[in-house]
A and B are shown apart, each in its own frame.
Chain A
């Protein structure tokens, strides 16, 4: 894992000092809310329905147990004893006091964490594959590349007042576990002639106008990556729309220019930027990469699992994934207990996960974009002990990638932009489908819910997506089918008129019944949908 050196420490300390000063000036009335808002947002502090909300960055979703414990400590000391893990691999606290914010940032800095650029029209926290460094299918660990980008983008003087927020994801496997092509820049590390380089997909995003990022450059050598990113951003900063907030994301610029014209402009800018010498030498990448060296895993550790406890076996089958080193496994901890709040964890649960990470996973944990937690490096022989501890903490729900493993944004229960509540719908669906046999029969089914068109809950990318809308002052839900945020990326299609809360749960049941009746051998829901199209599902829903 990346460890701060003196420079990283000094930068974060300076930011804490700066924000403490800004908070002081705001409370003293020296600056207005209008002036303070962009400053607090750049430190992850929002004003939400019930209080201030603080979003803490978990760079590329990786943390150690000390950091995880700090997240629990903050929940306990400054909030109401829980936190919400988000689709951006961050954590949000819902009940923060403005006057506590500087102290919280100081506590975070003591464990090399921060809330820098978790909001605002700047380059946001960089997300990545939650299985990085452990996945059997990756060509390399994407995190050193992400860390290089993190440092480049932190306090970037030219790109802190962009037309709109800017999100970057980096992956290095063919399976896309980070919704890479739904980011402003999605980078896939690929191999060419024995060298690793970055394929740049630019202009994806969700929100009001969802788009899948086109490939802008198939191979950018490591030595050019930051110059290339700088060129992509400069073209956007200069020409992205600023007249309409809904058209300000880079996806609209690229859509309006066309990918070819955008590429031409970037290439021209790149030629110039490359002459400025902004790319660090290979030695800097190597310095970073060394810190992501794989943990010392014993490849001769026993590879079989004692499955005599049937509940344990069910969990292993659903939540444990292949590790690249024999005798080891990736443990996925579901934060989706049936009837619970997707992504929420109490401080006690966060501590349990921290302890397990320390004891059984070489001190590493990950946050996933599906709002779950991962222990990336667990010996198969330890799985039973891990499961028992998780089970005792209510963290052993065996539903990874099943219909009850729902992504849901905070919705109208917390969010001031919401049209409708998301969480109660998630709870009702999970309860309706609570029978595990039934869930397994349905197989992989990614259900995603957003409480408004901003799409924080990735509903466009759900095999089944739900969007909350406001219909004459009452909550209403639109259903869409056929989206995917994975390597088979696609955007969902709306089924037709919306439903009330119970209506949408019924509609989903009709959809899944239709799927069971229609599928051929081995087809997932989304495969069947792609084969037969919307018509049969529409008929099942609306008659």
Chain B
């Protein structure tokens, strides 16, 4: 389920440093240069991981997202920042399930972007069946 929301009233995400030194937070914010793997021992107590995209050109967050999903994280994974409509399909494939773009996106465009690709060549973190598997059953 993809929601493009930034809900009010949720627990604010703390920085990675703060999270690692404080045992009760359940939401954390990951900057592009921070190691997603530092969160792996704590995934079951996390409800939200917010991955920052200060600039859309900085693609480190895509790897962070996949690493977290590959490690079994099932909570909310949010892409926050310079998130453009032309990127969200890839973000979703990497495991993001919510988006908090700085500049609001047009819901019609979002829908079109997410429906764009009929299939995918490679497997990623969204559980989509890759084309090679479709070819060979």
Docked-complex contact A281 and B59, CB < 8 angstroms:
no
Q: How many chain A residues touch B (Cβ–Cβ < 8 Å)?
A: 39
- State how many angstroms separate the Cβ of B131 from the closest Cβ of chain A: 5
Docked-complex contact B135 and A157, CB < 8 angstroms:
no
- State how many angstroms separate the Cβ of A109 from the closest Cβ of chain B: 14
- State how many angstroms separate the Cβ of B102 from the closest Cβ of chain A: 13
Q: How far is the CA of A157 from the CA of B120 in the complex (A)?
A: 10
Docked-complex contact A158 and B132, CB < 8 angstroms:
no
Chain A 1-44 near chain B by CB (<8 Å), digits 1 or 0: 00001010011001001100110000000000001001100000
Docked-complex contact A238 and B63, CB < 8 angstroms:
yes
Docked-complex contact A234 and B116, CB < 8 angstroms:
no
| Known contacts A10-B119, A14-B116, A276-B123, A284 near B135 by CB under 8 Å | yes
Q: List which A129-173 residues lie within 8 A (CB) of chain B.
A: 151-152, 154-163
Q: How far is the CA of A277 from the CA of B135 in the complex (A)?
A: 16
Decide yes or no whether B122 CB sits under 8 A from chain A: yes
Docked-complex contact B63 and A158, CB < 8 angstroms:
yes
Docked-complex contact A158 and B86, CB < 8 angstroms:
no
Decide yes or no whether A280 CB sits under 8 A from chain B: yes
Q: How many chain B residues touch A (Cβ–Cβ < 8 Å)?
A: 35
Decide yes or no whether B124 CB sits under 8 A from chain A: yes
Decide yes or no whether A278 CB sits under 8 A from chain B: yes
| Known contacts A39-B86, A277-B123, A278-B123, A160 near B116 by CB under 8 Å | no
| Known contacts A14-B116, A35-B84, A276-B123, A157 near B60 by CB under 8 Å | no
Docked-complex contact A237 and B59, CB < 8 angstroms:
yes
Docked-complex contact B63 and A276, CB < 8 angstroms:
no
Docked-complex contact A281 and B132, CB < 8 angstroms:
yes
Decide yes or no whether B20 CB sits under 8 A from chain A: no
| A287 partner residues in chain B, CB cutoff 8 A | 135-136
| B32 partner residues in chain A, CB cutoff 8 A | 242
Q: How far is the CA of A35 from the CA of B57 in the complex (A)?
A: 10
| Known contacts A14-B117, A278-B122, A278-B123, A158 near B135 by CB under 8 Å | no
Point out the residue from A5, A22, A161, A277 that lies within 8 Å of B57, measured CB to CB. Answer: A161
Decide yes or no whether A125 CB sits under 8 A from chain B: no
Nearest B residue to A237 via CB reads B63
| Known contacts A35-B84, A237-B62, A281-B136, A151 near B94 by CB under 8 Å | no
| A242 partner residues in chain B, CB cutoff 8 A | 32, 58, 60
| A156 partner residues in chain B, CB cutoff 8 A | 121-122
- State how many angstroms separate the Cβ of A4 from the closest Cβ of chain B: 11
Docked-complex contact B134 and A7, CB < 8 angstroms:
yes
Q: How far is the CA of A60 from the CA of B56 in the complex (A)?
A: 30
Contacts between chains A and B (CB distance < 8 A), count = 98
Chain B 74-108 near chain A by CB (<8 Å), digits 1 or 0: 00000000001011011101100000000000000
| A155 partner residues in chain B, CB cutoff 8 A | 90, 117, 120-121
| B121 partner residues in chain A, CB cutoff 8 A | 11, 151-152, 154-156
Q: List which B34-80 residues lie within 8 A (CB) of chain A.
A: 56-60, 62-63, 66, 70
Docked-complex contact A161 and B56, CB < 8 angstroms:
yes
Point out the residue from A17, A22, A151, A162 that lies within 8 Å of B86, measured CB to CB. Answer: A22
Docked-complex contact A161 and B62, CB < 8 angstroms:
yes
Docked-complex contact B57 and A38, CB < 8 angstroms:
yes
Decide yes or no whether B118 CB sits under 8 A from chain A: yes
Decide yes or no whether A392 CB sits under 8 A from chain B: no
| B58 partner residues in chain A, CB cutoff 8 A | 161, 242
Nearest A residue to B64 via CB reads A238
Nearest A residue to B82 via CB reads A35
Docked-complex contact B90 and A7, CB < 8 angstroms:
no
Decide yes or no whether A272 CB sits under 8 A from chain B: yes
Docked-complex contact A160 and B132, CB < 8 angstroms:
no
Docked-complex contact B131 and A7, CB < 8 angstroms:
yes
Decide yes or no whether A283 CB sits under 8 A from chain B: yes
Decide yes or no whether B112 CB sits under 8 A from chain A: yes
Point out the residue from A35, A158, A277 that lies within 8 Å of B66, measured CB to CB. Answer: A158
Q: How far is the CA of A428 from the CA of B85 in the complex (A)?
A: 50
- State how many angstroms separate the Cβ of A117 from the closest Cβ of chain B: 12
- State how many angstroms separate the Cβ of B66 from the closest Cβ of chain A: 6
| Known contacts A11-B119, A242-B58, A276-B70, A157 near B132 by CB under 8 Å | no
| B134 partner residues in chain A, CB cutoff 8 A | 7
| A368 partner residues in chain B, CB cutoff 8 A | none
| B116 partner residues in chain A, CB cutoff 8 A | 14, 17-18
Decide yes or no whether A372 CB sits under 8 A from chain B: no
Q: How far is the CA of A154 from the CA of B59 in the complex (A)?
A: 16
Docked-complex contact B57 and A151, CB < 8 angstroms:
no
Q: How far is the CA of A30 from the CA of B21 in the complex (A)?
A: 44
- State how many angstroms separate the Cβ of B123 from the closest Cβ of chain A: 5
Decide yes or no whether A121 CB sits under 8 A from chain B: yes
| A10 partner residues in chain B, CB cutoff 8 A | 118-119
| B63 partner residues in chain A, CB cutoff 8 A | 158, 234, 237-238
- State how many angstroms separate the Cβ of B136 from the closest Cβ of chain A: 5
Q: In the complex, which of the residues B94, B124, B131 has the most CB atoms of chain A within 10 Å of its own CB atom? A: B131
Docked-complex contact B124 and A158, CB < 8 angstroms:
yes
Nearest A residue to B126 via CB reads A157
| A22 partner residues in chain B, CB cutoff 8 A | 86
Q: In the complex, which of the residues A7, A22, A151, A226 has the most CB atoms of chain B within 10 Å of its own CB atom? A: A7
Please list the 7 inter-chain residue pairs (A to B) with the smallest Cβ-Cβ separation, ordered nearest first: A161-B59, A157-B93, A280-B132, A157-B90, A284-B132, A7-B131, A158-B62
Can you list 14 A-B pairs, Cβ within 8 angstroms, ordered by A?
A: A11-B131, A14-B116, A121-B59, A152-B122, A157-B122, A158-B63, A160-B59, A160-B90, A161-B56, A161-B58, A234-B63, A237-B62, A276-B123, A281-B132
Chain B residues proximal to chain A, CB less than 8 Å? 32, 56-60, 62-63, 66, 70, 84, 86-87, 89-91, 93-94, 112, 116-124, 130-136
Known: A11-B131, A238-B60. 14 other contacts (CB 8 A): A5-B135, A10-B118, A151-B131, A155-B117, A156-B121, A157-B93, A160-B59, A161-B59, A162-B59, A276-B123, A280-B132, A280-B133, A284-B135, A284-B136
